[in-house]
Structure 1
Amino acid sequence: MINTEEFTIRLEKVINFYGESASSFAEKIGVQRSSISHILSGRNKPSLEFVLKILSAYPEVELYWLLNGKGSFPAKKETTPSPPVEAPTKIKQVEDPAPISRAAVNRPEEKIFSENANGKTIERIVVFYSDGTFKNYHN
């Protein structure tokens, strides 16, 4: 069972951490201002829906910390070491590249090879999509 007094203290920590007023916090999580006031005063206990709205609006808040004080706030992100990122090199403009057929682009398993009038070949083509993904085509 949840200890309402301790929950109220943790809720106040969340509100203060984000520099919110009770009113702005209520608006951000989508509840009435009176709901926040009643929970902070101890008049009402938080509902599951209320808790889930907090977690949805503030992903740094851990469920177990908010409910029973176990864990940490803000949530510590588990990081996995990522490979070092190389600084981008200056991209050379290729003059008059040979056209690439649409059929070749639609078959990523096939390598694309093209040579233009200067004897230069295309080594790699990277297509970036609006959702942040990309497709890498290389020789």
Structure 2
Amino acid sequence: MVNIDDFVKRLEIILDYYSLNASTFADRIGVQRSSMSHLLSGRNKPSLDFVMKIMEVFPDVDLYWILNGKGSFPKNDEEESVSKINPIPEIQKQSSPIYLNENFEVEDLFSSVQNQKEEDVQTRNFQETKNSNLRANENEIEKIVFFYKNGTFKVYTP
């Protein structure tokens, strides 16, 4: 978790290093001046977008330094050369385990297609019945909503 007070101190160090005031800094990284003011006052926390904009405009700012205070500012050439020699390996995607219990029901791939066909037939039958019944009445139904116990619903409009 980023400590906001420490983040603000590091942000002020960046402002001093580049001899910028808060308004100019906000303009340079493309954020509203008010958001910069709210950050410096401690009212708001920095967003990921805000931090990434700083990294894009000011390449001397180290990500770990601005977030956690670890590393150095401005970046050392030695740190960059070490990271180029020993790149961080990509994290391999691992599949998460699947736990089955007695109450777990497995649907096959085609059951949803069959259910959709049944719903289409029911809808068509419903619309035919509705159209024949409504011709005699002057009151027309705008829509019908069916609520299911599982929290879903269907809306039928004539």
- Tell me which interval the TM-score lies in, with the shorter structure as reference length: 0.5 to 0.7
Specify the alignment match of 1:14 in structure 2: 14
Specify the alignment match of 1:70 in structure 2: 70
Secondary structure at 2:77 match in 1:
coil
Specify the alignment match of 1:46 in structure 2: 46
Cα distance per residue 1:15-54 (max 9 Å; x no partner): 1100001000000000000111000000000000000000
**TM alignment of 1:1-139, pairs within 5 A:** 1-78=1-78
Q: Which has the larger radius of gyration?
A: 2
**Structure 1 outlier segments of 4+, above 4 Å:** none
User: TM-score if structure 2 supplies the norm length?
Assistant: 0.49
More helix by share: 2
Q: Which has the higher contact order (CA 8 A, sep 6+)?
A: 1
Cα distance per residue 1:80-138 (max 9 Å; x no partner): 7xxxxxxxxxxxxxxxxxxxxxxxxxxxxxxxxxxxxxxxxxxxxxxxxxxxxxxxxxx
State percent identity of aligned pairs. 59
Deviation at 1:77, TM superposition (A): 1.1
1:35 & 1:16 partners in 2: Cα distance? 19
Aligned residues: 80
Secondary structure at 1:15 match in 2:
helix
2:62 & 2:14 partners in 1: Cα distance? 11
**Gapped regions of structure 2 (runs ≥ 5):** 82-158
| RMSD (Å) for aligned C-alpha atoms | 1.2
User: TM-score if structure 1 supplies the norm length?
Assistant: 0.56
User: What amino acid sits opposite 1:50 in the alignment?
Assistant: F
**Gapped regions of structure 1 (runs ≥ 5):** 81-139
Cα distance per residue 1:45-79 (max 9 Å; x no partner): 00000000000000000000000000000001138
2:16 & 2:31 partners in 1: Cα distance? 18
